[in-house]
């Protein structure tokens, strides 16, 4: 049986580059070599594309220059070798990128031009979920509870007395909690906006939600959706930012994920159904992790949607899927199947 030729794109030039490499390493460890012939396409922090043997140490230096062809007459990879370009055909692309240029529709646009099937959300779904302010507007119009918020542009003056504290200040289009600050009073606001603006020209000032932080992994397209087990992030202090810690593989300094969440069965189902509603409202396909808050009165409030969630050994998405009986090797199969056929088998 011919193996499926899968291009796996990882790295990238966003602040989430190191997380992407770790995700790719987990994919490499769990990819079924009997089914798939992988072509590893790493993107360096400077934006150079390299065809390499895998996401191991030194891939940036050992790889050959390569690009995904946007020309449907030359589909697949164009690899530079001895001054000439070699063409390698691909059956499907599995993006393992996080953040800007990976989850925001940029890569998806290139893949749409190429005509190669790819895993995950399309251009509109990716762009919409990446921009938290737009995601809140669309989800809110679909009847889903969202935090109160306002947006601020770079260099726009903000009257600190116009804000009701506490709030979270965050880049509108970033991930893994980079540039996020919890602000308890007026004297902290300007510094928090400045910190967020290092990552995006659009900053969100978001009302703090008094509730437990929960999440749900979703897999599928349109009406055929599979929900992983709900998790809950137990915080000792601060907010969830494990990807910024020095040794996240050994645990977090301030958070513990509980999977399945220590909630009643009815509440877990309510969280799963809300996650599915958010996924559909924002036009997601393939896979996404939906992060929410659960208030004491039972209201489920959208936090954010990650359209290419982390797949590291400590990431939430694969843990929630594994708890629902879908280990990472099977999860990769289902994600690739969705890209190729539109169904998760």
Contacts of 15 (CB under 8 A, 6+ apart): 99, 100, 174, 176, 178, 199
Annotated catalytic residue, options 86, 156, 222, 249: 249
Shortest CA distance to 201 belongs to which of 154, 243, 270? 154
Q: Is 298 exposed, middle or buried (0-12, 13-18, 19+ CB in 10 A)?
A: exposed
The pLDDT value given to residue 251 = 55
The pLDDT value given to residue 343 = 53
Which DSSP helix (H) or strand (E) runs through 278? helix 265-281
Annotated catalytic residue, options 5, 17, 22, 132: 22
The pLDDT value given to residue 282 = 97
Domains assigned to the chain: 4-118 (3.40.50.20), 127-145+209-341 (3.30.470.20), 149-207 (3.30.1490.20)
As a whole number of angstroms, the distance between CA 89 and CA 84 comes to 16
**316 included as an active-site residue:** no
Contacts within 8 Å (CB) and 24+ apart, 102-111: 102/9, 102/12, 102/14, 102/16, 102/20, 102/308, 103/129, 103/130, 103/175, 103/306, 103/307, 103/308, 104/130, 104/173, 105/130, 107/9, 110/68, 110/70, 111/68
The pLDDT value given to residue 81 = 85
What pairing do the DSSP bridges indicate for beta strands 181-183 and 167-171? antiparallel
**Mind listing the pLDDT tens digit of every residue in the chain (345 residues)?**
689 999 999 999 888 899 999 999 999 999 999 999 999 999 999 999 999 999 998 899 888 999 999 999 888 999 988 888 899 999 999 999 998 899 999 999 999 999 999 999 999 999 999 999 999 999 999 999 999 999 998 888 888 889 999 999 999 888 667 888 899 999 999 999 999 988 888 999 999 999 999 999 999 998 899 999 999 998 755 555 555 555 565 555 666 889 999 999 999 999 999 999 999 999 999 999 999 999 999 999 999 999 999 999 989 999 999 999 999 999 999 999 999 987 554
Contacts within 8 Å (CB) and 24+ apart, 251-254: 251/314
**17 included as an active-site residue:** no
Annotated catalytic residue, options 19, 169, 209, 301: 19
**280 included as an active-site residue:** no
Annotated catalytic residue, options 215, 314, 319, 326: 314
The pLDDT value given to residue 345 = 43
Contact 131, 105 (CB under 8 A): no
Contact 255, 240 (CB under 8 A): yes
pTM for the model stands at: 0.91
Shortest CA distance to 195 belongs to which of 242, 159, 152, 239? 152
Structure tokens at 39: 């072509």
Structure tokens at 17: 């580059």
The pLDDT value given to residue 252 = 54
30 φ/ψ angles, rounded to the nearest 5 degrees: -120, 0
The pLDDT value given to residue 256 = 85
**317 included as an active-site residue:** no
Helices (H), 144-264: 186-197
As a whole number of angstroms, the distance between CA 88 and CA 39 comes to 9
**118 included as an active-site residue:** no
End-to-end CA, the chain? 19
The pLDDT value given to residue 254 = 61
**296 included as an active-site residue:** no
Annotated catalytic residue, options 173, 285, 289, 316: 289
Annotated catalytic residue, options 5, 50, 98, 202: 98
The pLDDT value given to residue 178 = 81
Q: How would DSSP label each residue in 63-89?
A: PEEEEE---TTS-SEEEEETTEEEEE-
Give the chain's length: 345
82 φ/ψ angles, rounded to the nearest 5 degrees: 55, 40
Annotated catalytic residue, options 5, 173, 232, 243: 243
As a whole number of angstroms, the distance between CA 119 and CA 7 comes to 11
């Amino acid at each position: 049986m011919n193996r499926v030729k899968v291009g796996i794109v990882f790295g990238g030039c966003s602040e989430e580059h190191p997380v992407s490499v770790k995700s790719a390493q987990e994919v490499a460890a769990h990819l079924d070599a009997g089914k798939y012939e992988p072509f590893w396409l790493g993107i360096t922090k400077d934006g150079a594309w390299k065809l390499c043997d895998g996401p191991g140490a030194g891939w940036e230096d050992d790889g050959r220059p390569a690009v995904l062809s946007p020309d449907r007459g030359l589909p697949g990879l164009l690899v530079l070798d001895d001054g000439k370009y070699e063409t390698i055909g691909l059956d499907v692309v599995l993006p393992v990128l996080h953040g800007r240029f990976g989850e925001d529709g940029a890569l998806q646009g290139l893949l749409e031009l190429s005509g190669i099937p790819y895993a995950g959300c399309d251009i509109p779904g990716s762009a919409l979920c990446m921009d938290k302010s737009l995601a809140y507007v669309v989800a809110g119009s679909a009847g889903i509870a969202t935090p109160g918020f306002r947006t601020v542009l770079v260099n726009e003056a903000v009257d600190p007395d116009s804000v009701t504290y506490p709030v979270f200040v965050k880049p509108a289009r970033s991930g893994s909690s980079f540039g996020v600050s919890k602000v308890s009073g007026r004297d902290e606001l300007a510094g928090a906006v400045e910190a967020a603006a290092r990552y995006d020209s659009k900053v969100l000032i978001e009302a703090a939600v008094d509730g437990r932080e929960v999440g749900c992994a979703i897999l599928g397209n349109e009406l055929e959706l599979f929900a992983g087990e709900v998790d809950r992030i137990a915080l000792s202090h601060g907010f969830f930012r494990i990807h910024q810690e020095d040794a996240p593989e050994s645990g977090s300094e301030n958070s513990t994920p509980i999977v399945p969440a220590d909630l009643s069965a009815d509440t877990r189902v309510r969280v799963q159904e809300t996650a599915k509603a958010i996924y559909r409202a924002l036009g997601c396909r393939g896979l996404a992790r939906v992060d929410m808050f659960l208030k004491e009165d039972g209201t489920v409030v959208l936090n954010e949607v990650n359209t290419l969630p982390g797949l590291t050994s400590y990431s939430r998405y694969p843990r929630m899927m594994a708890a629902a009986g879908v280990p990472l090797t099977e999860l990769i199969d289902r994600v690739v199947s969705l890209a190729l056929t539109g169904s998760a088998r």
